[in-house]
Amino acid sequence: MATNSFLKFGCVEFNNPNMSRNVFKWVSDLIRTKPDQSTSRAWSETGNLVIERYHCGRIQNDKLIFTAQDKFQLRRQLKKEFGLDPFLTKQLPDDRLDIAKHHDNEKLARHAPSHDHILVNSPGGTLQLNKQQVQLHTEQLPSAGMMCLSSGINQIDHKSIVVVENLAIMQLCTTLTLPPLCQKALWVYRGDHKSGAKAKVCYDLLKRFGHDKKVIVFSDMDPKGLEIALTLPYASYWLGPETDAWTRCLQSPHASRSGYDVQTSALKYLLKRSDASSLSKPINDLVLQMRTEHSSYRQEHMLAHNIPLALFLLFGKEG
């Protein structure tokens, strides 16, 4: 197995994963181009780092010059250091386990360990994925769902998908009084930077399977929550407080005004959609009422105060 380097050049640390990946790709491109001839490249930080690190090549008139012998030596040194032949491999593997087969620094991989993780649940207690039924909830062990690999999902047999903005809600889905379309739906956590479930993975899942599903977004009743609902792939419904509860929620002592204040850009987006008449009437009314009340209401408070929930079409007319 190849060993790791911890050398620094100027302010650039070579064991930085992105820099190492850039160096490997740069050298691979270089040595694959006319390997038996000299090559001139425009000066670049990566190319200059290659010369300093491996003592191959020279700088002449702001150009980086590499002879055929330089290319041979670079190939030999990178193969020894990374355990992969840069002439045969254009880039280091993306996955940490694949990197670990060749190098002691698995962090050289492009993907984080959680790059493919997605948290799923269902109020009905059963996941219907890949033509299989997976039981989640038991009396002995309540569950927030299952963290699984999105790439391992090749079929979703639920008729609808509910995307949830906040992690705390995922474990409570079985306790909610929900509209029928949500009761046996696949619930998917939108993702964040801390839990391991990533927002990009959720988006990608919707792009793969959302075209023939009812995609519902359950978010905070605030500008950002509605912006999320309006921009998720294939989303057609928002799940939130019933219309009759809006005023009570937004004027409640538990309403969030500071949260509203920091969402100026999201509100501008909503008002632009409102001006373009692209929102359904209920969503448009909600946007205008939030602006009037200068307030918002979060998911956790909806549940804590037993606020009745309803589905609202995001676009077009109810019917």
Q: Which domains does the chain have, with CATH numbers?
A: 8-108 (no CATH), 117-313 (3.40.1360.10)
Q: What is the pLDDT of residue 298?
A: 93
Q: What is the pLDDT of residue 318?
A: 58
pLDDT in tens, 263-312: 889 999 999 999 999 999 999 999 999 999 999 999 999 999 999 999 99
Residue-wise over 59-70: b if at least 16 C-beta within 10 A, else e? eeeeebebeeeb
Cβ proximity of 204 and 150 under 8 Å: yes
Total-model pTM = 0.67
Q: What is the pLDDT of residue 222?
A: 94
**CA gap 150, 237 in Å, rounded:** 23
Q: Helix %, strand %, coil % for the chain, to 5?
A: 40, 20, 40
Burial of 180 (0-12, 13-18, 19+ CB in 10 A): exposed
**CA gap 315, 238 in Å, rounded:** 10
